């Protein structure tokens, strides 16, 4: 595992594509389970280990995941998330090019059977989904975007970008014509800003895209890399 940051209260890990964030009936292996084993082995923990993810990344998505190591940390981090004191920045390689270099996408979002639905107008069971994007580069029919989430909906970035004709490369579920050898999609949680639950200090964590990140023409380009 790639440990980005660890103390007695929080743990931040770089999740690879192909691994679920938390265990479920569909995933017997997960980042959370592996992290608990790591904590037991490295800190000689006895019995059950408390660890809880503050947010999830879809299985084919890579990047930084924040975990709370104590109940107090979890409660305070959840409250700071509700107070919108967390900021999550993603990098996405998409097919096509946005009409504007930066902008805000607003849709009405719902999901059913492992797929998100986004529309321009409200529909049954929908909630508002909002993200901001900025174009960093465009080459050979592909664009590198920086994406900031304002809301956290199921498959939100994937569905919203697809809805405006910019499917994430490798994401066949949402219309991409590209495929990656390891089943990854070109979406990476790159930067996380939050308030430490105990020290109250502002924290900014950056996770560089992994070596297998597609379309190496973007490697080393721009300030984000």
Residues with catalytic function: 58
How far apart CA 221 and CA 225 sit, in angstroms, is 6
Q: Residue 72 contacts by C-beta under 8 Å, 6 or more apart in sequence?
A: 9, 197, 198
Q: Residue 215 contacts by C-beta under 8 Å, 6 or more apart in sequence?
A: 93, 139, 140, 142, 169, 186
Question: Are 155 and 116 within 8 A, CB to CB?
Answer: yes
Burial class (CB in 10 A: 0-12, 13-18, 19+), 121: exposed
- Alpha helices (H) along 2-138: 31-43, 71-82
């Amino acid at each position: 595992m790639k440990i980005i940051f660890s103390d007695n209260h929080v743990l931040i890990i770089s999740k690879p594509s192909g691994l679920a964030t938390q265990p479920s009936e569909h995933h017997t292996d997960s980042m959370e389970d592996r992290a608990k084993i790591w904590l037991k082995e490295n800190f000689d923990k006895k019995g059950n280990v408390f660890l809880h993810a503050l947010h999830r990344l879809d299985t084919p998505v890579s990047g930084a995941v924040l975990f709370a190591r104590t109940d107090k940390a979890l409660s305070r981090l959840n409250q700071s998330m509700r107070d919108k004191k967390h900021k999550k920045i993603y990098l996405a390689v998409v097919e096509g090019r946005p009409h504007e270099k930066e902008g805000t996408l607003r849709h009405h979002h719902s999901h059913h059977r492992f797929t998100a639905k986004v529309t321009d107008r409200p529909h049954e069971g929908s909630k508002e989904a909002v993200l901001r994007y900025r174009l960093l580069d465009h080459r050979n029919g592909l664009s590198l975007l920086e994406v900031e989430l304002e809301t956290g909906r199921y498959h939100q970035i994937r569905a919203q970008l697809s809805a405006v004709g910019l499917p994430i490369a490798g994401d066949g579920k949402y219309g991409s014509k590209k495929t990656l050898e390891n089943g990854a999609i070109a979406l990476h949680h790159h930067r996380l800003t939050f308030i430490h639950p105990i020290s109250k200090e502002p924290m900014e964590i950056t996770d560089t895209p992994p070596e297998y990140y597609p379309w190496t023409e973007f490697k080393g380009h721009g300030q984000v890399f």
